[in-house]
Structure 1
């Protein structure tokens, strides 16, 4: 688990160290927080409660799906050093985002690894 953020925070940023490897059909992203098989990789965004003793209990999670990243954007991210995902953290009902998340719910972009960003692959 990485950096907990309050559910009502104005924004949240996580940086995940990943590696990218070429595949016949594109680029495979792997890392300690990346789940799934090649072509079906994702990162969980987990929602939960923290009790007074500091115990975390999950109640909902979303999958940020890498198969929704445009191949050109992913190639640019490999060259630049950072893949950034920007997304709202709630659904249309104002509840925590859940299920598989792909564009248009998430916008993927490439950024320089030395620049500011919201996430890295």
Structure 2
């Protein structure tokens, strides 16, 4: 077992509002949201959020303390913010509206699939102790990014020791 930090670096955040969208093609209407924030969701605790960031920030980042363990399928990454079963691990970025009382009401999530990290990048990250995922958080419609996120929408790198921002 090896200590591994995962740093998520986000840019191109969509703003502090998410406009309403009418129902179409069998989908429910989206009422729109104000005071939009994004955070990493803790495993097994949807209300457990790591460092909510405003949706209108220039950039956002989170560092997750994890462990990496060799497995028959490659490397298994676990930690308090890593979701899913072995071979299907991921990190949720949860989008929510923050109310007057500070309550975060989630309305969508982006699922960063760790299984989409190239094997050689993950091995280099285990060696260096750091895996970095860089992504934009605005979708093609100008709304908060959601659904499955894999390359090329996220770039995974393993900076060498002493490289990269902390």
Q: What TM-score, normalized to structure 2? A: 0.68
| Partner-residue secondary structure (3-state), 2:115 | helix
**Which blocks of at least 5 consecutive residues in structure 1 are unaligned?**
none
Q: Structure 2, unaligned stretches of length 5 or more?
A: 1-48
Which residue matches 2:72? 24
Aligned match of 2:27: none
CA-based RMSD of the aligned residues comes to 1.3
| Higher alpha-carbon Rg | 2
Q: Distance in 2 between matches of 1:58 and 1:113?
A: 36
Instruction: Provide the C-alpha distance between the structure 1 equivalents of 2:161 and 2:106, rounded to a whole number of angstroms.
Output: 31
Where do 1:1-121 residues align within 5 Å? Answer: 1-112=49-160, 114-117=162-165
Residue-pair matches, total: 118
2:157 and 2:120 map into 1 onto residues whose CA distance is 10
- Stretches (4+) displaced over 6 A: none
Structure 1 range deviating more: 104-113 or 69-78: 104-113
Please state whether the residue corresponding to 1:87 is helix, strand or coil: strand
